[in-house]
Amino acid sequence: MSEESRLREQITLLAKSIYDRGLTSGSTGNISARLSDGSILMTPTGSSMGCLDPARISHLSEDLEHLGGDLPTKEIPLHAAFYDTRAETGAVVHLHSCHSVALSMMPDIDTEDVLPALTPYPIMRLGQVKLLPFFLPGDPEMGAAVRGLAGKRSAVLLANHGPVVAGKELEATVYAMEELEEGAKLAMMTRGMGAIGLSPEAVAALRIKFPS
């Protein structure tokens, strides 16, 4: 099986897993992954992650010209911003997962690091997650906002919209996205309950041992 065929199958399999577990719904969310030649596979616009056809996944050149498959998601600028500013990026996942969106609307969250330090794995897989303001879906300014971070964040949360995670390869990126959603879920479940999180010393040690 060629690299492209393998990656098309992997996108389809992981997207269905995401959909089946309720991490995205309807035709929301999008995934992209970069091939070794620099071209990019991206889920098509208006498609459901629950029933993707591997052959119809969009194929874009390194310069984002449409090479084949269905037309890509309108969030191309968002994905491109991560590929352009983080050289190690091999995949980008964007969802509308419920708890992450809910957390993005809370008035008192830390916009520089939206997930409270309750468990180690979100810190290990994501580092600090930056809250970006609301943009209309498909607005190129989302990409501009990510570029403004100069490659310093592997994950952001779009206010009233959803999380975006970039990683070195697709499977690990999906796992990191799941940690973000689980971290947001835990934050919402324990909100206002005086939960005892990790100490500042523990957080500092995790960030040194597991840099994002």
19 tagged catalytic: no
- Among 25, 157, 143, 142, residue whose Cα is nearest residue 104: 157
Query: CA 133 to CA 165: how far, in whole Å?
Result: 16
Q: How many CB atoms lie within 10 A of CB 197?
A: 14
**Amino acid, res. 57:** I
pLDDT number for residue 147 = 97
201 tagged catalytic: no
pLDDT below 70 — which residues of the chain? none
pLDDT number for residue 1 = 79
pTM beyond cutoff 0.85: yes
pLDDT number for residue 102 = 98
Mean pLDDT, all residues of the chain: 95
How many domains does the chain divide into? Answer: 1
Kindly state the DSSP code that residue 167 receives in the 8-state scheme. E
Kindly state the DSSP code that residue 197 receives in the 8-state scheme. -
Instruction: Give me the catalytic one of 4, 121, 169, 175.
Output: 121
Residues 6+ apart with CB under 8 A from 132: 142, 145, 146, 156, 157, 158, 159
Pairing of strands 155-158, 130-132: parallel
pLDDT number for residue 211 = 85
Residue 160: which CATH number?
A: 3.40.225.10
Tokens of 41: 């596979």
pLDDT number for residue 212 = 75
**Domain, as residue range, for 159:** 3-209
